[in-house]
Chain A
Amino acid sequence: MTATLSYTLTDSATMLRRNLKHQLRYPSLTLMLAGFPILFLLLFVYVFGGQLGAGLGPGGAHPDRHAYLTYVVPGILIMTVASAALGTAISIAMDMTEGIIDRFRTMAIARGAVLTGHVIGTLLQTLAVLVLVVGVSLAMGFRSAAGLLAWLATAGILGLFAFALIWLSTALGLAAKSVETASNTPMFLTLLPFLSSAFVPTSTMPAGLRQFAEYQPFTPVIQTTRGLLTGGPIGAHAIAAVAWSVGIALACYLWSIRLYDRRRAADPK
């Protein structure tokens, strides 16, 4: 039936509007999501940046805050994506405790539309927060030689990775038994950027940690973004970044749909 596909689109759009209305009416969550990476940006550049920048670029051993700013901005953008995704688990878990979800389940709504509305809504929110963080970076003196195409590619790779992490967070939010659990479980997402090339090159890490940092999904995404914005080799990183993103998104989408259906089947009252 072609009607099914068209209803899937209409219902998802309806749920997206609902999600955007929530965001606009309660902007505090969006501001918190933006505030967290901006705080880290300020902290890492102005507090640690002078010293951390010493080991980077042509400045040699001299403190080089600007070199560190250039290095860390791609990492901060990834951190933005991770922390924005984290919010999805909380808002999904909160939504699932609301009576309206039971109402949705008794209506002939396209399968997955409720979740799709959340995911696309958070994705748009993430992109908006990314623009804000880039704006703050530019104000702090970050400069990129990237042309329009490279910026678009950056938006694409970050958007794709955000899409993957948001589906992951959605599944974690659905799997959580309470809103508290939902806000704690995905915390590892904010930890992973530290164990990657976001803040310092992986070459400075001890052996075991270095291997983990090099092979975990954040690093190829960061390296691709870094390559696009500030030059440097991208190589196989781009392929790894896309593969990780698509893989995580697909697996977590299927997991989420299953969890959503199963909540319907159980849930004693």
Chain B
Amino acid sequence: MTRSGVAITARGMRKSFGEHTVLDGVDLEVGEGTIFALLGPNGAGKTTIVRILSTLIRAEAGTIRVAGHDLAADPDGVRAAIGVTGQFSAVDNLLTGEENLQLMADLRHLGRAAGRRRVAELLDRFELTDAARKPLSTYSGGMRRRLDLAMTLVGAPRLIFLDEPTTGLDPRSRRTMWQIIRELAADGVTIFLTTQNLEEADQLADRVAVLDHGHIVTEGTPDELKRRIPGGHVQLQFAGPHELSAAAALLPAATPDPDQLSLQVYGDGSVTELRYLLNQLAEAGIGAERLSIHTPDLDDVFFTVTGHPAGTDREKAPQP
């Protein structure tokens, strides 16, 4: 492994399919033992990045090091160090769950006894022991996804790529998958995941990069990204237009919405700020009906940096 504490570095990564440029000079740096989330709409090139970093396809340009090996010069060195769970299930449908795991153990050259132990351990950890000897046709979507990840973990890789690991899973299976990912990270495994699900990135990632049109448009911790963008505000709801215009006169920086009889007051939503706001209204004798606090989430970040909402995301309904 690298001594520098960096699991992945990429400089100027480019890739095009025919005339269509998918990646137009992407730079990435992923620290060892961290969870890195690559966020972006469909077709942004997330899967292409995973396929390049996991040696499936070659980049046209760029210097890339993965797990301490140069990607172009030593792809087998990279392969021996990584585990990949792609977007589409990478299991052998004609074998049982146990046979799939045993196949991985054999290909990782674990040896007979150690391989058996590892298979039993993973079946147990991923709650697949009961279904171990059943054909995959009887597995649910969540079970297949767990088996898929278990197969990735057979060789105990220190760097794992997860391409949209929870797409298509029900909320319960998604929570289970998040729990597994957190446990892996707690063991010091580096995780590179792609997602369209902003909540997922927020929940899991140490660092988030947003990919759009082949560029990384912003990068940082989820909190940094949220802080970097506007969008935090307090919304005041009034009973009639008189109250609204009075409040708007009192707070000139706020944005009134006459149709909704509401006023958006920008700020970070802190208690001090709220208290000050309510005092101002009380002193002026203006009564507000309701108050709601809106803190920026990654949806706002996404919208701000890409200019369009994560609307291509089938998973997450647009914010009301």
Contacts and interface: CB of A to CB of B under 8 A. Distances in A.
A265 B84 CA distance: 17
Interface string A172-198: 000000000000000000000000000
Contacts of B306: none
Contacts of A17: 106
Given A14-B103, A14-B106, A269-B47, A102 B95 contact: no
Nearest to B151: A103
Nearest to B20: A268
A100 B51 contact: no
Question: In this complex, which of B54, B76, B90, B107 has the most chain A Cβ atoms within 10 angstroms of its Cβ?
Answer: B107
A81 to B, nearest CB: 25
A62 interface: no
Given A103-B90, A106-B79, A267 B106 contact: no
Contact of A99 (B54, B80, B91, B135): B91
A269 B15 CA distance: 12
For the complex, would chain A's binding face be called helix, strand, loop or mixed by DSSP majority?
Answer: helix
Contacts of A267: 56-57
Contacts of A109: 107
B56 A105 contact: yes
* Interface size of A as a range: 20 to 34
Contacts of B135: 25
B58 A103 contact: no
B48 A269 contact: yes
Nearest to B155: A107
Nearest to A104: B107
A21 B90 contact: no
B27 interface: no
A18 interface: yes
A21 B91 contact: no
A62 B151 CA distance: 67
B99 interface: yes
Contacts of A10: 106, 109
A102 B92 contact: no
B17 A100 contact: no
B90 A265 contact: no
B129 interface: no
B88 interface: yes
Interface string B209-241: 000000000000000000000000000000000
Closest 4 CB pairs of A and B: A103-B90, A99-B90, A108-B79, A108-B80
29 contacts: A7-B109, A10-B109, A14-B107, A17-B106, A18-B92, A21-B94, A22-B95, A25-B94, A25-B135, A26-B94, A98-B90, A99-B88, A99-B90, A99-B91, A100-B91, A100-B92, A102-B84, A103-B90, A106-B56, A106-B79, A106-B82, A106-B84, A107-B108, A107-B155, A108-B77, A109-B107, A264-B56, A264-B57, A267-B57
Interface of B: 17, 47-48, 51, 54-58, 76-77, 79-80, 82, 84, 86, 88-95, 99, 103, 106-109, 135, 151-152, 155
